[in-house]
Structure 1
Protein backbone atom coordinates (compact mmCIF):
# COMPACT_ATOMS: atom_id res chain seq x y z
CA UNK A 1 0.00 0.00 0.00
CA UNK A 2 1.26 3.49 -0.68
CA UNK A 3 2.14 5.10 2.59
CA UNK A 4 3.84 8.34 3.45
CA UNK A 5 6.97 7.02 5.13
CA UNK A 6 7.25 10.07 7.36
CA UNK A 7 3.69 10.26 8.70
CA UNK A 8 2.83 6.57 8.22
CA UNK A 9 -0.50 7.52 6.63
CA UNK A 10 -2.09 5.90 3.60
CA UNK A 11 -2.23 8.19 0.56
CA UNK A 12 -5.18 7.10 -1.61
CA UNK A 13 -4.22 9.15 -4.67
CA UNK A 14 -0.95 7.20 -4.89
CA UNK A 15 -2.71 3.86 -4.68
CA UNK A 16 -2.86 1.63 -7.70
CA UNK A 17 -4.84 -1.59 -7.75
CA UNK A 18 -2.29 -3.40 -9.89
CA UNK A 19 0.81 -2.27 -8.03
CA UNK A 20 -0.83 -3.06 -4.70
CA UNK A 21 -2.16 -6.44 -5.75
CA UNK A 22 0.91 -8.07 -7.23
CA UNK A 23 2.29 -8.80 -3.81
CA UNK A 24 0.59 -12.16 -4.33
CA UNK A 25 -3.02 -11.18 -3.68
CA UNK A 26 -4.59 -13.36 -6.34
CA UNK A 27 -8.12 -12.79 -5.06
CA UNK A 28 -7.63 -9.05 -5.19
CA UNK A 29 -6.48 -9.23 -8.81
CA UNK A 30 -9.47 -11.40 -9.63
CA UNK A 31 -11.86 -8.97 -7.96
CA UNK A 32 -10.52 -6.01 -9.90
CA UNK A 33 -10.69 -7.92 -13.18
CA UNK A 34 -14.34 -8.73 -12.43
CA UNK A 35 -14.92 -5.02 -11.77
CA UNK A 36 -13.61 -4.23 -15.25
CA UNK A 37 -10.16 -2.84 -14.44
CA UNK A 38 -8.13 -2.42 -17.65
CA UNK A 39 -5.75 -5.30 -18.40
CA UNK A 40 -3.48 -3.61 -20.89
CA UNK A 41 -3.18 -0.03 -19.69
CA UNK A 42 -0.28 1.38 -17.73
CA UNK A 43 -0.79 2.75 -14.24
CA UNK A 44 0.23 6.28 -13.28
CA UNK A 45 3.81 5.06 -12.87
CA UNK A 46 3.86 3.59 -16.38
CA UNK A 47 3.57 -0.13 -15.62
CA UNK A 48 0.80 -2.39 -16.98
CA UNK A 49 -0.50 -5.22 -14.77
CA UNK A 50 1.14 -8.24 -16.40
CA UNK A 51 4.50 -6.51 -16.33
CA UNK A 52 4.05 -5.83 -12.61
CA UNK A 53 3.05 -9.41 -11.89
CA UNK A 54 5.98 -10.80 -13.92
CA UNK A 55 8.40 -8.42 -12.25
CA UNK A 56 7.31 -9.76 -8.88
CA UNK A 57 7.33 -13.39 -9.97
CA UNK A 58 3.63 -13.80 -9.20
CA UNK A 59 2.87 -16.73 -11.47
CA UNK A 60 -0.73 -17.27 -10.39
CA UNK A 61 -1.54 -13.59 -11.03
CA UNK A 62 0.23 -13.79 -14.39
CA UNK A 63 -1.82 -16.82 -15.42
CA UNK A 64 -5.05 -15.14 -14.37
CA UNK A 65 -4.22 -11.94 -16.25
CA UNK A 66 -3.27 -13.90 -19.37
CA UNK A 67 -6.44 -15.98 -19.21
CA UNK A 68 -8.45 -12.77 -19.07
CA UNK A 69 -6.76 -11.30 -22.14
CA UNK A 70 -3.72 -9.39 -20.93
CA UNK A 71 -1.27 -8.75 -23.78
CA UNK A 72 1.90 -10.78 -23.30
CA UNK A 73 3.89 -8.02 -25.01
CA UNK A 74 2.44 -5.08 -23.04
CA UNK A 75 5.07 -2.43 -22.39
CA UNK A 76 5.82 0.34 -19.96
CA UNK A 77 7.29 3.75 -20.71
CA UNK A 78 10.80 2.24 -20.84
CA UNK A 79 9.50 -0.31 -23.38
CA UNK A 80 10.09 -3.20 -20.97
CA UNK A 81 7.94 -6.28 -21.45
CA UNK A 82 6.84 -8.79 -18.82
CA UNK A 83 9.62 -11.11 -20.04
CA UNK A 84 12.25 -8.39 -19.71
CA UNK A 85 11.17 -7.55 -16.17
CA UNK A 86 10.98 -11.20 -15.05
CA UNK A 87 14.44 -11.92 -16.52
CA UNK A 88 15.90 -8.80 -14.89
CA UNK A 89 14.46 -9.67 -11.49
CA UNK A 90 15.41 -13.35 -11.62
CA UNK A 91 12.04 -15.09 -11.65
CA UNK A 92 12.75 -18.22 -13.66
CA UNK A 93 9.23 -19.68 -13.40
CA UNK A 94 7.76 -16.43 -14.71
CA UNK A 95 10.32 -16.38 -17.53
CA UNK A 96 9.55 -20.00 -18.45
CA UNK A 97 5.79 -19.39 -18.39
CA UNK A 98 6.08 -16.32 -20.61
CA UNK A 99 8.35 -18.12 -23.07
CA UNK A 100 5.96 -21.10 -23.18
CA UNK A 101 3.11 -18.66 -23.91
CA UNK A 102 4.99 -17.21 -26.89
CA UNK A 103 6.69 -14.09 -25.50
CA UNK A 104 9.28 -12.59 -27.84
CA UNK A 105 12.61 -13.85 -26.48
CA UNK A 106 14.49 -11.08 -28.31
CA UNK A 107 12.24 -8.12 -27.45
CA UNK A 108 14.05 -4.80 -27.12
CA UNK A 109 13.51 -2.14 -24.50
CA UNK A 110 14.24 1.57 -24.87
CA UNK A 111 18.00 0.96 -24.57
CA UNK A 112 17.84 -1.96 -27.03
CA UNK A 113 18.48 -4.42 -24.20
CA UNK A 114 16.99 -7.89 -24.55
CA UNK A 115 15.88 -10.11 -21.66
CA UNK A 116 19.24 -11.86 -22.19
CA UNK A 117 21.10 -8.59 -21.53
CA UNK A 118 19.18 -8.09 -18.27
CA UNK A 119 19.57 -11.65 -17.04
CA UNK A 120 23.28 -11.62 -17.91
CA UNK A 121 23.86 -8.32 -16.15
CA UNK A 122 22.16 -9.55 -12.98
CA UNK A 123 23.98 -12.90 -13.05
CA UNK A 124 20.86 -15.03 -13.38
CA UNK A 125 22.70 -18.03 -14.83
CA UNK A 126 19.69 -20.34 -15.03
CA UNK A 127 17.62 -17.70 -16.80
CA UNK A 128 20.44 -16.99 -19.26
CA UNK A 129 20.61 -20.71 -20.00
CA UNK A 130 16.82 -20.92 -20.41
CA UNK A 131 16.68 -17.90 -22.73
CA UNK A 132 19.42 -19.43 -24.89
CA UNK A 133 17.44 -22.69 -25.09
CA UNK A 134 14.51 -20.63 -26.39
CA UNK A 135 16.79 -19.19 -29.11
CA UNK A 136 17.72 -15.85 -27.55
CA UNK A 137 20.12 -14.06 -29.89
CA UNK A 138 23.43 -13.54 -28.09
CA UNK A 139 24.67 -11.29 -30.95
CA UNK A 140 22.22 -8.42 -30.27
CA UNK A 141 23.98 -5.21 -29.30
CA UNK A 142 22.27 -2.59 -27.16
CA UNK A 143 22.49 1.18 -27.68
CA UNK A 144 25.78 1.19 -25.79
CA UNK A 145 27.10 -1.35 -28.33
CA UNK A 146 27.18 -4.07 -25.65
CA UNK A 147 26.44 -7.75 -26.11
CA UNK A 148 24.81 -9.70 -23.29
CA UNK A 149 28.21 -11.19 -22.40
CA UNK A 150 29.58 -7.66 -22.00
CA UNK A 151 26.99 -7.05 -19.28
CA UNK A 152 28.56 -9.74 -17.07
CA UNK A 153 30.51 -7.52 -14.70
CA UNK A 154 31.44 -7.94 -11.01
CA UNK A 155 29.79 -4.61 -10.17
CA UNK A 156 26.38 -6.07 -11.09
CA UNK A 157 26.59 -9.64 -9.83
CA UNK A 158 28.80 -12.07 -7.95
CA UNK A 159 27.75 -14.72 -10.49
CA UNK A 160 29.15 -12.80 -13.46
CA UNK A 161 31.86 -15.43 -14.17
CA UNK A 162 29.38 -18.28 -14.38
CA UNK A 163 27.00 -16.25 -16.50
CA UNK A 164 29.83 -15.34 -18.84
CA UNK A 165 30.75 -19.05 -19.17
CA UNK A 166 27.18 -19.95 -20.19
CA UNK A 167 27.10 -17.14 -22.77
CA UNK A 168 30.53 -18.06 -24.15
CA UNK A 169 29.65 -21.72 -24.67
Structure 2
Protein backbone atom coordinates (compact mmCIF):
# COMPACT_ATOMS: atom_id res chain seq x y z
CA UNK A 1 0.00 0.00 0.00
CA UNK A 2 1.23 3.50 -0.79
CA UNK A 3 0.11 4.82 2.57
CA UNK A 4 0.32 3.90 6.21
CA UNK A 5 -2.90 2.16 7.28
CA UNK A 6 -2.69 3.48 10.84
CA UNK A 7 -2.00 7.15 10.19
CA UNK A 8 -3.50 7.28 6.68
CA UNK A 9 -0.47 9.28 5.52
CA UNK A 10 1.25 8.84 2.20
CA UNK A 11 4.68 7.17 2.30
CA UNK A 12 6.61 8.52 -0.72
CA UNK A 13 9.49 6.09 -0.50
CA UNK A 14 7.10 3.14 -0.81
CA UNK A 15 5.12 4.25 -3.81
CA UNK A 16 4.00 6.99 -6.13
CA UNK A 17 0.67 8.60 -5.29
CA UNK A 18 -0.38 9.13 -8.87
CA UNK A 19 0.68 5.79 -10.30
CA UNK A 20 -0.78 3.80 -7.44
CA UNK A 21 -4.01 5.68 -7.01
CA UNK A 22 -6.91 3.62 -8.23
CA UNK A 23 -10.36 4.98 -8.87
CA UNK A 24 -11.34 3.54 -5.47
CA UNK A 25 -8.83 5.98 -3.90
CA UNK A 26 -10.51 8.98 -5.55
CA UNK A 27 -11.40 10.61 -2.23
CA UNK A 28 -7.89 9.99 -0.92
CA UNK A 29 -6.35 11.58 -4.04
CA UNK A 30 -8.76 14.51 -3.76
CA UNK A 31 -7.72 15.03 -0.15
CA UNK A 32 -4.05 14.90 -1.12
CA UNK A 33 -4.66 17.57 -3.77
CA UNK A 34 -6.51 19.72 -1.23
CA UNK A 35 -3.48 19.43 1.05
CA UNK A 36 -1.32 20.97 -1.67
CA UNK A 37 0.09 18.10 -3.71
CA UNK A 38 1.78 19.62 -6.79
CA UNK A 39 -0.25 18.86 -9.91
CA UNK A 40 2.31 19.59 -12.59
CA UNK A 41 5.63 18.53 -11.05
CA UNK A 42 7.29 15.33 -12.17
CA UNK A 43 8.05 12.50 -9.79
CA UNK A 44 11.53 11.01 -9.26
CA UNK A 45 11.18 9.13 -12.58
CA UNK A 46 10.24 12.27 -14.51
CA UNK A 47 6.53 11.55 -14.85
CA UNK A 48 3.87 14.20 -14.10
CA UNK A 49 0.78 13.14 -12.12
CA UNK A 50 -1.62 13.33 -15.07
CA UNK A 51 0.58 11.08 -17.20
CA UNK A 52 0.87 8.50 -14.44
CA UNK A 53 -2.84 8.44 -13.64
CA UNK A 54 -3.82 8.33 -17.33
CA UNK A 55 -1.18 5.77 -18.22
CA UNK A 56 -2.51 3.46 -15.55
CA UNK A 57 -6.16 3.85 -16.56
CA UNK A 58 -7.43 5.77 -13.55
CA UNK A 59 -10.17 7.73 -15.32
CA UNK A 60 -11.81 9.28 -12.27
CA UNK A 61 -8.44 10.45 -10.96
CA UNK A 62 -7.50 11.85 -14.39
CA UNK A 63 -10.73 13.84 -14.47
CA UNK A 64 -10.07 15.10 -10.95
CA UNK A 65 -6.55 16.20 -11.88
CA UNK A 66 -7.83 18.01 -14.98
CA UNK A 67 -10.60 19.67 -12.96
CA UNK A 68 -8.01 20.83 -10.44
CA UNK A 69 -5.77 22.36 -13.13
CA UNK A 70 -3.26 19.69 -14.13
CA UNK A 71 -1.46 20.59 -17.36
CA UNK A 72 -2.82 18.50 -20.21
CA UNK A 73 -0.21 19.87 -22.63
CA UNK A 74 2.65 17.44 -22.00
CA UNK A 75 4.44 18.56 -25.17
CA UNK A 76 5.16 21.82 -23.34
CA UNK A 77 7.27 19.82 -20.88
CA UNK A 78 9.15 18.12 -23.72
CA UNK A 79 9.74 21.49 -25.38
CA UNK A 80 11.05 22.88 -22.08
CA UNK A 81 13.44 19.94 -21.64
CA UNK A 82 14.73 20.27 -25.20
CA UNK A 83 15.28 24.00 -24.64
CA UNK A 84 17.27 23.10 -21.52
CA UNK A 85 19.52 20.95 -23.74
CA UNK A 86 18.23 17.57 -22.60
CA UNK A 87 19.72 14.71 -24.59
CA UNK A 88 16.91 13.75 -26.98
CA UNK A 89 18.61 10.40 -27.60
CA UNK A 90 19.08 9.42 -23.95
CA UNK A 91 17.97 5.85 -23.27
CA UNK A 92 16.18 4.25 -20.34
CA UNK A 93 16.78 0.78 -18.86
CA UNK A 94 15.08 -0.83 -21.87
CA UNK A 95 17.18 1.23 -24.29
CA UNK A 96 14.07 3.24 -25.22
CA UNK A 97 14.48 6.87 -26.15
CA UNK A 98 11.90 9.62 -25.72
CA UNK A 99 11.10 9.02 -29.39
CA UNK A 100 10.29 5.36 -28.67
CA UNK A 101 7.87 6.38 -25.90
CA UNK A 102 6.25 9.19 -27.87
CA UNK A 103 5.84 6.91 -30.90
CA UNK A 104 4.33 4.12 -28.84
CA UNK A 105 1.86 6.49 -27.17
CA UNK A 106 0.89 8.14 -30.47
CA UNK A 107 2.04 11.60 -29.40
CA UNK A 108 2.41 12.98 -32.91
CA UNK A 109 3.32 16.53 -31.89
CA UNK A 110 5.97 15.29 -29.47
CA UNK A 111 7.39 12.98 -32.16
CA UNK A 112 7.61 15.97 -34.53
CA UNK A 113 9.29 18.12 -31.87
CA UNK A 114 11.80 15.40 -31.00
CA UNK A 115 12.68 14.83 -34.66
CA UNK A 116 13.09 18.57 -35.24
CA UNK A 117 15.38 18.61 -32.21
CA UNK A 118 17.66 15.92 -33.60
CA UNK A 119 16.18 12.70 -32.22
CA UNK A 120 17.58 9.65 -33.99
CA UNK A 121 14.79 7.50 -35.43
CA UNK A 122 17.26 4.65 -36.12
CA UNK A 123 18.02 3.77 -32.47
CA UNK A 124 16.84 0.28 -31.53
CA UNK A 125 15.72 -0.69 -28.04
CA UNK A 126 16.52 -3.94 -26.20
CA UNK A 127 13.73 -5.68 -28.13
CA UNK A 128 15.46 -4.57 -31.35
CA UNK A 129 12.55 -2.20 -32.10
CA UNK A 130 12.76 1.16 -33.81
CA UNK A 131 10.38 3.90 -32.67
CA UNK A 132 8.24 3.35 -35.79
CA UNK A 133 7.90 -0.35 -34.85
CA UNK A 134 6.11 0.69 -31.65
CA UNK A 135 3.33 2.52 -33.51
CA UNK A 136 0.62 -0.07 -32.92
CA UNK A 137 -3.14 0.20 -32.44
CA UNK A 138 -2.88 -1.56 -29.07
CA UNK A 139 -0.93 1.41 -27.69
CA UNK A 140 -2.64 4.38 -29.30
CA UNK A 141 -5.45 5.37 -31.64
CA UNK A 142 -3.08 7.87 -33.25
CA UNK A 143 -0.56 5.20 -34.29
CA UNK A 144 -1.11 5.73 -38.05
CA UNK A 145 -0.35 9.45 -37.86
CA UNK A 146 2.73 8.76 -35.80
CA UNK A 147 3.90 6.14 -38.32
CA UNK A 148 3.51 8.67 -41.14
CA UNK A 149 5.62 11.25 -39.32
CA UNK A 150 8.36 8.72 -38.53
CA UNK A 151 8.34 7.26 -42.03
CA UNK A 152 8.76 10.63 -43.78
With the length of structure 2 as denominator, give the TM-score of the two structures.
0.61
Task: Kindly indicate whether residue 48 of structure 2 is the aligned counterpart of residue 56 of structure 1.
Answer: yes
Count of paired positions: 108
User: What secondary structure sits across from 1:136 in the alignment?
Assistant: coil
Match of 1:147 in 2: 130
Deviations 1:37-63, CA, capped at 9 Å, x for gaps: xxxxxxxxxx63xx44xx2179xxxxx
Aligned residue runs from structure 1 range 50-89, under 5 A: 51-52=45-46, 55-56=47-48
Residues 139 and 147, structure 1, Cα contact 8 Å, conserved in 2: yes
8 A contact 1:90–1:127 mirrored in 2: no
Q: TM-score, normalised by structure 1?
A: 0.56
* Mapped contact 2:39–2:49 kept (Cα < 8 A): no
Map 1:1-169; keep pairs closer than 5 Å.
Answer: 3=3, 10-12=8-10, 14-15=11-12, 21-24=37-40, 48=44, 51-52=45-46, 55-56=47-48, 91-169=74-152
Which sections of structure 1, spanning at least 5 residues, go unmatched? 26-46, 59-88
State the superposition RMSD in angstroms: 2.8
Aligned to 1:82: none
Structure 1 stretches of 4+ moved >4 Å:
none
